[in-house]
Amino acid sequence: MAAQLYRIVISVLLLLVPLLSLRLLSLLPAYNPRPAPGTRKPNSKTRLLIVLGSGGHTAEMFALIRDLDCSKYMHRSYVVSSGDAFSMGKAKEFEAMLLKRVMESTDNPTLHYGSYDVSVVPRARRIHQSLLSTPLTSMK
């Protein structure tokens, strides 16, 4: 009796394990390996996202990208928070400096300068805002 029950359990497991494995494989997304960093085509256009903010972050970001090669990063997107006119002004100043540098160094600046845009996002929390009201403004 115990041997027969043992065979039934083994048979059911031998049927269920492959079926459950196939079901799991059908639910998982297909494996899609991404190319390793630095493997893009040498002359392909690349976008750059630059996030600016108060508290010194704007100055730090521009220190990082001050020697930016516009011919490699053909479109630059700046993100600033609402009410941060200083960072928006610095982004426009930086782009004017880039354009001036490109115009001085090349005969066809439009080919090497690219473009940029500035996106304004709402602040999640104002400076000195109460922690009790922060979740409401964060959801907004």
Domain ranges of the chain: 46-123
pLDDT at 93 over 80: yes
139 contacts 123 by C-beta, under 8 angstroms: no
User: What angle in degrees, to the nearest 10, is found between the helix axes of 57-65 and 85-105?
Assistant: 10
User: How much is the average pLDDT of 77-92?
Assistant: 90
- The pLDDT tens digits of the residues spanning 3-58 come to 888 888 888 888 888 888 888 888 887 776 776 766 767 667 788 999 998 778 89
pLDDT at 117: 92
pLDDT at 74: 83
